[in-house]
Structure 1
Amino acid sequence: MEMKVLVIDDSQINVTLLCRLLEKIESCSSVSFLEPEVALEWCRDHVPDLVLVDYMMPTMNGIQFIQGFRRYQHCRDIPALMITANDEVALRYEALEAGANDFLIKPVDKIEFLARTKNMLALRRNQRFLENRASWLDAEVQKATLEIRAREQETILRLCKAADSRDPETGAHIVRMANYSRLIAENLGLPYSLQQMILEAAPMHDIGKVGIPDHILLKPGKLSIDEFAIMKTHASLGYQILAGSTSETLQMGAQIALSHHEKFDGSGYPQGLSGDAIPIVARIVAVADVFDALTSERPYKPAWEIDRAVALLEEGSGQHFDPQCVRAFLSDFSKVMEIRERYRENPEDPKSFGAF
């Protein structure tokens, strides 16, 4: 491991002597300055492994240099050895308070200099080893976290496909509405991490339909009152499937599954929540889900025209939908159309699936 020593002394003879002595230490190089102010500026962008600084200098003494040196965050733990002809105890205390780690008294004894310098470099070498170890561990943790996230996303995809296989809605629908939901979250100014979580959690909104009987779920005509009552239980069923997970994404999915059929005026189900009592993620998904359902062709209905679907959202603002979510959805409608075009109803197109 190559070690770099910073040497500061206003005497060129002293600098030359110290640098020559440092050449005797294996894997050690030096950089030197006659002006402590210039050396301090150099430290702004560089990290030495050891500082050798003279105490008595005309414009800035060694203690002042160390004080400035320690103000740099990246230099706070670098060993500093002060060289002085003054052996007063008070001076040593002051230097220690400033951040000096050790001292050498002039005239410098060669053997003592090499011993103290090697000790300081050994300390720094161990610091660097621990720093590198910490960086490696951090990289390994991030790698493991990414692997866990990948497995989690795969689980989510499989859950969504399980529900999707029993539902006349297509895989492209869940991808579109998930991307619409992320767009609304972005336009609302929500944090990027939350936008991404909504993108991943939104497809789980109808996971509870796995518990709805086929004769109701797949019925082409209008549901009876009793049938619709059973259909509405898919919100609670979805929540029961996802609730209790340690995954934040699945926890959000549970929230969305339970509340995305609530209405802003309190007339929705299953809890009759209204306004801000409805989780924001559910209010977001409600807008995205309804728009895509309206503008998509299904075996039991033709697709609505875009203008007609937009008009319904605007009419339902403040009643069915959160007005802020509607405005966020419509504020950059060109992106809505880009998402709609990108994830079209094409079962042969791999872009229609797994895009979240």
Structure 2
Amino acid sequence: MSEAPPRSTLLLVDDVPDNIDILGRILSPHYRTRVAPGGERALKIAATPPHPDLILLDVRMPDIDGHEVCRRLKARPETRDIPVIFVTALNETEDEAYGLALGAVDYITKPVSPAIVLARVRTHLALYDQNRELARQIHARTLDLLNTRQQIIHRLGRAAEFRDGETGNHIIRMSHYCRLIGEAVGLDEKVVQTLYHASPMHDIGKIGIRDTVLLKNGPLNEEEWAMMMCHPEIGAEIIGTHSDELLAAAREIALCHHEHWDGSGYPRGLAGEEIPLLARIATIADVFDALLTGRPYKPTWSVEDAVAYIEAGAGSRFDPGLIEPFRRALPRMIRIRERFADSHGKLDDTEAGPHIPI
């Protein structure tokens, strides 16, 4: 036998006990009820989980009137969506427009009619339930779209990886390093997540580099190096220009992760804070992992040597303001390196995300 759905909770607010008693007798047989003898108490109850599903609010109260209570409720994220029905005397109906403008959903006049009270409460609870279900569906769909968007970015990252012909977990580690440095900088969590999901696209432009250059096993000549230096702009063109925060971040990281703090980088020779912050973070993360990763043309560096190189580059290649956050993030970065070492086998991108060789 299925359980009955839980009853909705109503908050009855009035400084006159008789008025509370009348509403309680009408509503208690059908709903759970809580009472508040004034505005201050009502605000505390409404803000404390579990929040009421609907509030019946007297207008004239001695401590804080109902209009001010409603204004404060609508100003708080945790209570702004709770429907408020004003309960007012007949001679106060001129305040209806003001109350509705504050966010109330309805008015009930005193002396109250039990049938009207029940009908209004039932209607607005039903609307509230519908709105919450719609919000839940929108939230779920938004998460689905976000996940799809991230997966597309990850798949493009994998495409760049296969184009390069190298294997490894570089972009897994690099994206985690970006996240950890961003947290150490004190970036907002949303920005940190954007950085984490956008950074795998940093080398997507290598898709546009000729095999004879990209796959060359040895130093590049001047012409080949000039071609390789085009990959940030190619990456930016592949990603395109978007109002979407994630794609915009991916574009600026792809375009600017080879810019240097002193202006000696490429492709545009940006300097200092002309370089977007997320790209400056990605530069450190990318170089740190590259130094620790062996390639046919270079040996694997020790952590100590890689850290020394980055510290020595403060003010020239790297943003000097990011060196201390890098140091704070370093112990966790080392654990990420150990967890996603290339020797651990084939990339499990269902667990860790995509990767792109530098």
Q: Same fold (TM over 0.5)?
A: yes
Paired AA for residue 85 in structure 2: I
- For the pair 1:45 / 2:52, whether they are aligned, the reply is no
User: What's the Cα RMSD here?
Assistant: 3.5
What is the CA deviation profile of residues 109-163 of structure 1, one whole-angstrom value per residue up to 9, with x for unaligned ones? xxxx6xx222133222222222222211111111111111111111111101111
CA contact (8 A) 1:262 1:269 kept: yes
CA spacing shift, 1:319–1:31, aligned 2, 3 Å: closer
Aligned to 2:213: 216
CA spacing shift, 1:261–1:123, aligned 2, 3 Å: same
CA contact (8 A) 2:181 2:325 kept: yes
Q: 1:186: how far off? A: 0.9
Counterparts of 1:146-165 in structure 2 under 5 Å?
146-165=143-162
Q: 1:103: how far off? A: 2.2
Q: 1:341: how far off? A: 0.9
CA spacing shift, 1:185–1:49, aligned 2, 3 Å: closer
- For the pair 1:196 / 2:193, whether they are aligned, the reply is yes
Paired AA for residue 26 in structure 2: L
Tell me, what secondary structure is at the counterpart of 1:165? helix
CA spacing shift, 1:284–1:5, aligned 2, 3 Å: closer
Query: What 5-or-longer segments of structure 1 have no aligned partner?
Result: 54-61, 83-88, 105-112
C-alpha distance in 1, partners of 2:185/2:337? 20
C-alpha distance in 2, partners of 1:135/1:320? 51
Counterpart of 1:308 (choices 305, 326, 330) is 305
CA contact (8 A) 1:264 1:318 kept: yes
What is the CA deviation profile of residues 53-99 of structure 1, one whole-angstrom value per residue up to 9, with x for unaligned ones? 8xxxxxxxx932695455262688224255xxxxxx8xx24995897
C-alpha distance in 2, partners of 1:20/1:142? 35
CA spacing shift, 1:354–1:229, aligned 2, 3 Å: farther
CA spacing shift, 1:94–1:197, aligned 2, 3 Å: closer
CA spacing shift, 1:319–1:30, aligned 2, 3 Å: closer
Tell me, what secondary structure is at the counterpart of 1:331? helix
CA spacing shift, 1:353–1:260, aligned 2, 3 Å: farther
Counterpart of 2:142 (choices 125, 145, 154) is 145
C-alpha distance in 1, partners of 2:230/2:171? 20
C-alpha distance in 2, partners of 1:32/1:176? 52
What is the CA deviation profile of residues 4-50 of structure 1, one whole-angstrom value per residue up to 9, with x for unaligned ones? 69587657xx988x589738x9x6468698xx848984784264867
What is the CA deviation profile of residues 267-294 of structure 1, one whole-angstrom value per residue up to 9, with x for unaligned ones? 1111011100011111111111111101
What is the CA deviation profile of residues 161-204 of structure 1, one whole-angstrom value per residue up to 9, with x for unaligned ones? 11101225434011111111111111111111111111111111
CA spacing shift, 1:139–1:94, aligned 2, 3 Å: closer
- For the pair 1:322 / 2:319, whether they are aligned, the reply is yes
Aligned to 1:266: 263
Paired AA for residue 227 in structure 2: I
Q: How high is the TM-score relative to the length of structure 1? A: 0.78
Q: 1:250: how far off? A: 1.8
CA contact (8 A) 1:175 1:354 kept: no
Aligned to 2:330: 333
Aligned to 2:109: 102
- For the pair 1:80 / 2:84, whether they are aligned, the reply is no
Which fold has the larger relative contact order, with Cα–Cα distance below 8 Å and residues 6 or more apart in sequence? 2
- The count of aligned residue pairs is 323
C-alpha distance in 2, partners of 1:159/1:219? 22
C-alpha distance in 2, partners of 1:196/1:280? 14
Aligned to 1:22: 26
CA contact (8 A) 2:15 2:37 kept: no
CA spacing shift, 1:94–1:238, aligned 2, 3 Å: closer
CA contact (8 A) 1:346 1:352 kept: no
Paired AA for residue 123 in structure 1: R
Identity of aligned residues (%): 33
CA contact (8 A) 1:208 1:239 kept: yes
CA contact (8 A) 1:9 1:15 kept: yes
C-alpha distance in 2, partners of 1:237/1:214? 15
Counterpart of 1:225 (choices 187, 207, 222) is 222
CA contact (8 A) 2:263 2:272 kept: yes
- For the pair 1:294 / 2:301, whether they are aligned, the reply is no
Tell me, what secondary structure is at the counterpart of 2:45? coil
